């Protein structure tokens, strides 16, 4: 991607390093998230995709490097400023993270009740409008336990857009969903992005869905960005990482085997022991 | 031998690290308390689940403990022809010791464990994380209301326990065993001092309530966010509260009722 001017970037990540104990998760990662676009971040399981979203949301702090959200370094702002920035972004958790003691309606109303002082009638209208967008206006009185996985994600999405954020981050939105739900979620992501003028980040390993819905893709492996480009560019990439991942090949740069001692020696060691 | 020292060192370090984390957590809780002033509703909701729902257990247990005290007290006192002091024995045992201590132990089992499990599961299902991402501080929204509700509930439950216990003692002593009703109440009235006994008992229950609340919310917030982690945290809440309450009870009793 051509170097974009900073104003055109919602999130700018530079030289990000992060370690979980002794395990290095990110080792010098640069990512640009352009405004108004859907950017996908792909990678095999365990590459720290969720961690990346938490770093962008300021829930985790990097060892070194910077994460600029709307030009502000999210890890070096005051707590008040952090909360102000967070009101501009939403994170859709993989599980939905709905409050299990509140109804669907109250879940969507939660951010509005916490951050605004709207009269009840207006709040009701707003919540119903958000639920209408995700097609669950009729489910407003259900408890989260009564929802299917896909419905829970849609309610979480309605809650995520309650405060009209500028950016939504999706953590594995397609995982474990049936094809219809995947289609619905893809359509919602595209529609919300375009009609509300949002910036979207999707973190996932569902290659086919991502290539269809996203404008730009980053491929992460072993703590680094191993490739990026539009879905078409990545589809024709020469990188072995990308070829393995996009093609779903069982062995390649990401090995099939967990690191182990030599197979023959290992078997013989059992006999002599 | 070296191994043993290593283990001892490691577990002491872990203990102090936990105590330190608990202390810092408590400071954050204190700092967040003022934010609740404009939103008393959050505490009231928790008062219901922490306090009101524990009432049944406290009332029934108090009644039973009082009845047993009445029976045992009578059997001992009657040998000395002092069965008329039954009211005093029952009231003093309950108000000074059994009320605060047993109520705190029951409270830890009923409400403390529930608080820990609830907060721990909210953490495990990313509800706390989700709140943070919605720019809502879980400390203010989840932890502090529960903490305050537990602190308010505990002394009230302990008082209820004592009152029910005295009633239980009365039913058995006066109703079944034939102790004179007037003697039962007047002995109690004469020998139970408001400051010395009732206030000291109240102080105990406030201290126990504080400790039980602190342990319960801290364990929940600090739980490893997995099924096993929450289960361990819940167990720890009950065990640590029991130890803390019984240990503190001795210290407080020594300070209050003197000459140890």
Identify the three-state secondary structure at position B191. helix
Distances (CA, A) of B250 to A142, B192, B245, B246: 50, 20, 9, 7
H or E stretch at A190:
helix A179-195
- The ipTM value here is 0.79
Given this model, what pLDDT does residue B210 score?
96
| Chain A interface includes B64 (CB < 8 A) | no
| Chain A interface includes B129 (CB < 8 A) | yes
Short-list A216, A206, A215, CA closest to A246: A206
Which residue in A has a C-alpha nearest to residue B138's C-alpha?
A114
Short-list B113, B112, B94, CA closest to B159: B94
Given this model, what pLDDT does residue A172 score?
87
Given this model, what pLDDT does residue A196 score?
86
Rounded mean pLDDT, B196-224? 94
**Angle, CA A247 vertex, CA A241 and CA A248 arms, to 5°:** 85
| Chain A interface includes B36 (CB < 8 A) | no
Which residue in A has a C-alpha nearest to residue B130's C-alpha?
A97
Given this model, what pLDDT does residue B236 score?
94
Partner-chain contact B135 A84, CB within 8 Å: yes
Lowest-pLDDT choice from A195-204, A244-253, B83-92, B218-227: A244-253
Which residue in A has a C-alpha nearest to residue B141's C-alpha?
A114
Query: Which of B127, B135, B137 has the CB atom closest to A97's CB atom?
Result: B127
Q: Which of A57, A78, A91, A92 to mutate to test the interface with B (most CBs of B within 10 A)?
A: A91
Query: Which of A87, A97, A110 has the CB atom closest to B126's CB atom?
Result: A97
Contacts of A87 in chain B (CB under 8 A): 134-135
Nearest-Cα distance to chain B for A169, in Å, is 11
- How many cross-chain Cβ pairs, A to B, lie less than 8 Å apart? 46
Partner-chain contact B141 A114, CB within 8 Å: yes
Rounded mean pLDDT, B33-51? 92
Contacts of B135 in chain A (CB under 8 A): 83-84, 86-87, 111, 114-115
Nearest-Cα distance to chain B for A97, in Å, is 5
- The token pair that represents B83 in the structure block: 């069965």
C-alpha–C-alpha distance, residues A211 and A234, integer Å: 9
C-alpha–C-alpha distance, residues A187 and A195, integer Å: 12
Q: Which residue is listed with tokens 């206006």?
A: A137
Q: Which of B134, B141, B226, B227 to mutate to test the interface with A (most CBs of A within 10 A)?
A: B134
Given this model, what pLDDT does residue A29 score?
87
Contacts of B129 in chain A (CB under 8 A): 54, 59, 93, 97
Query: Which of B127, B135, B141 has the CB atom closest to A87's CB atom?
Result: B135
Which residue in A has a C-alpha nearest to residue B137's C-alpha?
A83
Beta strand extents in chain A (DSSP E only): 9-20, 23-34, 38-42, 64-69, 72-73, 89-92, 167-171, 199-204, 216-221, 224-229
Identify the three-state secondary structure at position B5. helix
Taking only the tens place, the pLDDT of each residue in B129-181 is: 989 888 899 999 999 999 999 999 999 999 999 999 999 999 999 999 989 99
Asked whether B135 and A86 are in contact (CB, 8 A), the reply is yes
C-alpha–C-alpha distance, residues A195 and B210, integer Å: 51
C-alpha–C-alpha distance, residues B34 and B55, integer Å: 28
pTM of the model: 0.84
Contacts of B48 in chain A (CB under 8 A): none
C-alpha–C-alpha distance, residues B104 and B158, integer Å: 7
pLDDT band at B260 (very low <50, low <70, confident <90, very high): very low
A60: left (phi over 0), alpha (psi -120 to 50) or beta: beta
Contacts of B126 in chain A (CB under 8 A): 93, 95, 97
Distances (CA, A) of A64 to A60, A67, A245: 12, 10, 28
Query: Which of A84, A95, A111 has the CB atom closest to B134's CB atom?
Result: A111
Partner-chain contact B135 A99, CB within 8 Å: no
Residues in chain A: 273
Q: Which of A92, A96, A114, A160 to mutate to test the interface with B (most CBs of B within 10 A)?
A: A114
Q: How many percent of chain B have pLDDT more than 90?
A: 83
Query: Which of B129, B133, B141 has the CB atom closest to A90's CB atom?
Result: B133
Partner-chain contact B127 A89, CB within 8 Å: no
Given this model, what pLDDT does residue A233 score?
82
Nearest-Cα distance to chain A for B142, in Å, is 11
Rounded mean pLDDT, B224-232? 93
| pLDDT average per 10 residues of sequence, chain A (273 residues) | 69 88 86 90 82 89 89 88 89 87 93 91 92 90 90 90 90 85 87 89 86 88 84 77 75 76 83 59
Q: Phi first, then psi: what are they for A73, rounded to 5°?
A: -75, 105
Nearest-Cα distance to chain A for B236, in Å, is 24
Q: How many percent of chain B have pLDDT more than 70?
A: 99
Asked whether A48 and A18 are in contact (CB, 8 A), the reply is yes
Which residue in A has a C-alpha nearest to residue B142's C-alpha?
A99
């Amino acid at each position: 991607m051509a170097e974009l001017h900073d104003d055109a970037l919602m999130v700018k990540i530079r030289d990000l390093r992060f370690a979980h104990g002794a395990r290095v998760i990110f080792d010098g990662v640069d990512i640009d998230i352009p405004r108004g676009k859907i950017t996908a971040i792909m990678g095999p399981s365990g590459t720290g995709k969720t961690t990346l979203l938490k770093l962008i949301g300021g829930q985790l702090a990097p060892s070194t490097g910077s994460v600029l959200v709307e030009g502000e370094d999210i890890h070096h702002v005051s707590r008040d400023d952090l909360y102000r920035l967070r009101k501009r972004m939403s994170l859709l958790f993989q599980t939905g993270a709905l409050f299990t003691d509140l109804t669907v309606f109250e879940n969507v109303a939660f951010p509005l009740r916490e951050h605004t002082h709207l009269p009840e009638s207006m709040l009701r209208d707003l919540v119903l409008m958000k639920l209408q967008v995700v097609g669950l206006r009729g489910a407003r009185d259900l408890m989260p336990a009564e929802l299917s996985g896909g419905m829970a994600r849609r309610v979480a999405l309605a809650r995520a857009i309650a405060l009209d954020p500028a950016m939504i981050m999706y953590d594995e939105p397609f995982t474990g969903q049936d094809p219809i739900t995947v289609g619905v979620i893809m359509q919602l992501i595209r529609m919300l992005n375009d009609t509300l003028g949002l910036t979207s980040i999707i973190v996932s390993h569902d290659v086919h869905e991502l290539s269809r819905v996203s404008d730009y893709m980053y491929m992460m492996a072993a703590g680094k960005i191993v490739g990026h480009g539009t879905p078409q560019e990545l589809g024709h990439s020469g990188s072995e990482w990308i070829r393995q991942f996009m093609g779903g090949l069982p062995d390649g740069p990401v090995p099939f085997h967990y690191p182990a001692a030599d197979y023959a020696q290992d078997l013989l060691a059992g006999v002599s022991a | 031998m070296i191994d043993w020292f290593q283990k001892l060192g490691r577990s002491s370090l872990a203990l102090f690290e936990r105590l330190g984390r608990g202390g810092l957590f408590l400071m954050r809780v204190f700092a967040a308390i003022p934010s609740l002033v404009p939103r008393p509703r959050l505490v009231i909701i928790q008062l219901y689940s922490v306090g009101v729902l524990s009432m049944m257990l406290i009332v029934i247990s108090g009644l039973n403990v009082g009845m047993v005290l009445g029976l045992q007290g009578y059997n001992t006192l009657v040998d000395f022809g002092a069965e008329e002091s039954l009211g005093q024995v029952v009231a003093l045992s309950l108000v000074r010791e059994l009320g605060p201590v047993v109520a705190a132990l029951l409270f830890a089992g009923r409400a403390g464990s529930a608080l820990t499990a609830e907060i721990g599961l909210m953490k495990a299902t990313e509800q706390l994380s989700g709140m943070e991402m919605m720019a809502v501080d879980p400390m203010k929204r989840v932890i502090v209301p529960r903490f305050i509700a537990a602190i308010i509930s505990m002394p009230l439950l302990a008082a209820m326990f004592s009152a029910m216990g005295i009633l239980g003692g009365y039913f058995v002593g006066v109703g079944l065993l034939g102790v004179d009703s007037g003697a039962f109440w007047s002995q109690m009235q004469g020998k139970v001092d408001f400051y010395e006994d009732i206030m000291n008992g109240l102080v105990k229950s406030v201290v126990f309530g504080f400790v039980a609340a602190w342990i319960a919310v801290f364990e929940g917030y600090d739980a490893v966010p997995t099924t096993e982690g929450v289960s361990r945290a819940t167990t720890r809440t009950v065990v640590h509260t029991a130890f803390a309450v019984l240990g503190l009870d001795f210290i407080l009793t020594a300070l209050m009722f003197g000459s140890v």
